[in-house]
Structure 1
């Protein structure tokens, strides 16, 4: 595994990023924010015409705050005052079957330990916000219309073969590291022989992006974020509000039948969904495959993979892009450490054991949520205005209320831990169960450090990012000069912060907490460690 010393060879740029979707752009911004020079190549022009993602979870929003784009997400995304109900019905103008009522974003009270609620923001806003931020960072170069033909690595770096996407002249670029964010069909992943494990097909689905002012007003269901149609064969389609105004995404769930795509008739299916004809304009149609796949490994030497390259999942739960953002915030500081020379040989190698369990959990949970919609038994009379039709609608509604309507997956968003990490100072005993819907703040090593407002009004986690931070908490926290000296001796950047605020001390429950640049706890104790050098060597991957 490349160490920091080996990383400082001759190269054109420290980091090459292949792929300019939201995960690749976030990688460029995060590295640029750290002062790490990087080049991003993307064969397309960077314009998003069909938003594939629109959920920005609580953890991603914390990083958006770091990057200076959180206000854009809040202001230009889903309207803050619009309700977000999930409404099930026979048709939009027909019988309502079930409803999950959700408050508007400006009514959400984040749980203790975080300050950022989940946001809805279409990719047509999110990607341009990242692009603008990237262009404002001197270390970042965005090169659109450039295709990566392949990469070859050696002990000192990686050589990438590039060409203009229009078939122009080819060139090579030498980098210390390559981060592949190419998406589900990653040529780099395939060339490395990295296998995907899981279920390759959960269904053949179709998305239709359309504009319609009439869609919001032609029914009695009221404002909703998701409208879901249940017919005689079960839940078959949905419409999601993209901008909360007149932009909508119609999704036909499809089936395991490869001919599902050819069976979609956009006009007929939209009329069936609405229960009547209405005015709309189709903007684009996207055929895609739902999957449940995770790569066996996330890295091959100096080549690291992130996003859909390594985990492919159904969009239920909004895990896709957000899992990718978690990937890049995990590896960016490790690459920075390798380039700076203080990373041990095992720091970069910790990427797979830390992030793969999170990827597997999110992929499986998303598949479970999707499967709940498949479990609705056929109800042949559900569309009928008859006693049997009413009975079937009631039965389906009760089934949906019991098994499909669930609270937000807050624990999965911000409560994940790196329990299998080789660069965390683990504590004795089994780890507590991972929470799904709920979140309990903890400073257990491997967990995300909790957030809260300090006495001066700043969020605690805004202290993290540039090097390690040693928090001394409470009225009389013990000093830890041995940790400071050990970090200095190893060249590890570490800043000590004294937080006497009683609310923050109560939130953290520990006198001393060592936090990594990605905001996860590396070590904690009520007193300085007996062997501070061992602690520092562990967290920098040198043991």
Structure 2
């Protein structure tokens, strides 16, 4: 999240210092799916091709398989084509990509290092900070032990589950502090698929008579694999002998492998009460912790960064009111609650086998066993499908209730996990459509506020242009009226204002009597509606204030990782 924020700020001409207390090495890749919305951001940043050309093999099948063991019976699978073969969705100029964290982070680092505005300092740790009405003063400790005091206009904590910044702000988290105690193991095995008959696949879900107990994913499509012992709400520490037994059970026969690293972590469902105080903000795992079932966590964190970035830049550049920053929590917290809630549903789907475990006959090679396996596999395949097809989660979030959006009284479309119908409703992501020159409409957004003229008989846009000039708002006007009626119908109005983050801020068929008032709303100087407090995540404990020593997270600190030869 820090790299995404630094890079997006740099594209807007804003200087930043990014500090990281480790040396940047990724020992345990905790994500590998770059969602479609994140890829749209990468497209705007000019690095989409870098992600597409990462070392992950584009011809590697993405099947999801449920099985007893690699050499045991298979219950079923969701066949999924390779990234090379997967078509673009009709709703986007990009598609989701497979790019593990130890490949994706170097791409973001390369992106950030392009800019003179960005500085990255590794092995540097935040010790403390204070803030005032004028800015933030922070004390940093470098690797050699020296202390440095710096001043900044704002501070953003993208420092993970055990966030020092969140604790210093005394911001509690709400939800469920423990879903499962899980252990991840990275192991190497050359040409693992040749040792069994299940073929190449992205994810294997292992089901025994106790239900789902283990998953293995292909990290790099070559020789690195991530084993996750799912666990339960009962804390359990796995010794090395235990891990070897798990690997052996998963294969079903002895084989050669090398354990690279082991990381215990706690699967949580938590969202911070607020995403900042004063001039200090939180993003990513620092303000929302989720089960990785669905691949939503990193992608939601990057969307946090983009939402916060344009607002910080607008305030620092002087064309937005500082009140614009108050909309960050209002907009992003409901998105986090929605994401964490769906990830929980996916976890429950995956663990549904624990209350509906296979009948013992399903493990038998007999015809009766084959019939039982098929029935069970068909049920589980249907149960799991929502996790594999989730474009609605990635594109369907919206900011309609935000005070820096102009509502138009239109109905909220259905929030469907697996399908997404594009809409130009205020607060929603501006729809994608292909233009006659081969560009996407999304390629028109990002640098400032964008005004689209979508009908030949639409009124003059001079009023918006003059009002923007008076307020020093960077406004770009695109006349797309010659592109055809399809885009007009998609956006639902003749005139549409799109914010720098690509979300619709206002739409209408006539220029309002006070176009400056509309722009004032978008820049935080004239809120459109009273701030609506975002919901807290429901859970077993309504108020959870986690301290540093309580947290083991998928973010994982280096000292929590045990390296093995």
Shorter-chain TM range is over 0.9
- Structure 1 residue 432, shift from structure 2 partner: 2.3
The CA deviation string for residues 239-298 of structure 1, in whole angstroms up to 9 with x for no partner, is: 111111222111110111112545972221111011112222221111111000000100
* Aligned counterparts of 2:491 and 2:28: Cα–Cα separation in 1: 43
Q: Determine the C-alpha separation between the residues in 1 that align with 2:346 and 2:55.
A: 25
1:519 and 2:493 aligned? no
Between Structure 1 and Structure 2, how many residues are aligned?
520
Of 397, 414, 417, 1:416 maps to 397
Q: Is the 8 A contact 2:410 2:425 kept in 1?
A: no
Tell whether 2:204 aligns with 1:223.
Answer: no
Cα distance in 1 for residues equivalent to 2:59 and 2:287: 36
Does structure 2 retain, via aligned residues, the 8 Å contact 1:43–1:146?
Answer: yes
Task: List per-residue Cα deviations over 1:192-230 (Å, max 9, x = no partner).
Answer: 111100000000111111221231212222221111110
Give 1:462 deviation, angstroms: 1.6
Note if 1:378 corresponds to 2:357: yes
Partner of 2:102: 124
- Provide the secondary structure at the position in 1 that maps to 2:109: helix
Check 1:154–1:475 CA distance in 2 against 1; reply closer, same or farther (3 A cut): same
Query: 2-side partners of 1:298 and 1:240: how far apart?
Result: 32
* Counterparts of residues 129-528 of structure 1 (less than 5 Å): 129-166=107-144, 168-262=145-239, 265-376=242-353, 377-379=356-358, 381=360, 382-385=362-365, 389-390=369-370, 392-406=372-386, 407-499=388-480, 500-502=482-484, 503-528=486-511
Partner of residue 8, structure 1: none
Aligned residue number for residue 9 of structure 1: none
Q: CA deviation at 1:346?
A: 2.3
- C-alpha distance in structure 2 between counterparts of 1:392 and 1:148, whole Å: 57
Tell me: CA distance 1:275–1:203, structure 2 relative to 1, closer, same or farther (3 Å). same
Cα distance between partner residues in 1 of 2:416 and 2:427? 15
Write the distance in 1 (CA, Å) between the matches of 2:272 and 2:363: 43
Contact 1:205/1:261 (<8 A) preserved: no
Q: Secondary structure at the match of 1:451?
A: coil
**Preserved contact between residue 467 and residue 515 of structure 2 (Cα < 8 Å):** yes
Task: Compute the displacement of 1:439 (Å).
Answer: 0.9
Q: Distance in 2 between matches of 1:496 and 1:429?
A: 25
Which stretch shows the higher mean deviation, 84-93 or 259-268?
259-268
Contact 2:138/2:151 (<8 A) preserved: yes
| Ranges of 4+ aligned residues in structure 1 off by more than 6 Å | none
Residue 476 of structure 1: CA displacement?
A: 4.2
**Deviation string, structure 1 residues 141-190 (Cα, Å, up to 9, x no partner):** 00111100111100000011111144x11111100000100000001101
Offset at residue 35 of structure 1 (A) = 0.9
Which string of whole-angstrom CA distances, capped at 9 and with x for unpartnered residues, describes residues 88-110 of structure 1?
Answer: 11111111101111122222223
Q: CA deviation at 1:383?
A: 3.5
Q: Is 1:513–1:523's contact at 8 Å kept on the other side of the alignment?
A: yes
State which drifts further: 42-51 or 199-208: 42-51
Secondary structure at the aligned position of 2:154 is classed as strand
Supply the distance in 1 between the matched residues of 2:62 and 2:217 (Cα, whole angstroms). 10
TM-score with structure 2 length normalisation?
Answer: 0.89
CA distance in 2, matches of 1:212, 1:262: 21
| Residue aligned with 1:62, SS | helix
Report if aligned partners of 1:214, 1:278 keep a CA contact under 8 Å in 2.
no
Q: Is the 8 A contact 1:334 1:348 kept in 2?
A: yes
| Distance across 2 between alignment mates of 1:372 and 1:130 | 33
SS of 2:323's partner is coil
Q: CA RMSD in A?
A: 1.7
Structure 2 unaligned regions, length at least 5: 527-565
Cα distance in structure 1, aligned partners of 2:274 and 2:240: 37
The answer to whether residue 517 in structure 2 is matched with residue 530 in structure 1 is no
Equivalent position of 1:539 in the other structure? 522
Does the aligned pair in 1 maintain the 2:123–2:143 contact within 8 Å?
yes
Check the 8 A contact 1:209/1:250 in 2, yes or no.
yes
SS in 1 for 2:108: helix
Contact 1:233 1:380 survives alignment (8 Å): no
Q: For 1:106, what is the secondary structure of its paired residue?
A: coil
Shift of 1:504: 3.4
Q: What SS is found at the alignment partner of 1:347?
A: helix
Give the structure-1-normalised TM-score: 0.92
Question: Residue 46 of structure 1 is aligned with which of 7, 16, 24?
Answer: 24
Structure 1 residue 77, shift from structure 2 partner? 4.8
Aligned with 1:297: secondary structure?
Answer: coil
Q: Any gaps of 5 or more consecutive residues in structure 1?
A: 1-22
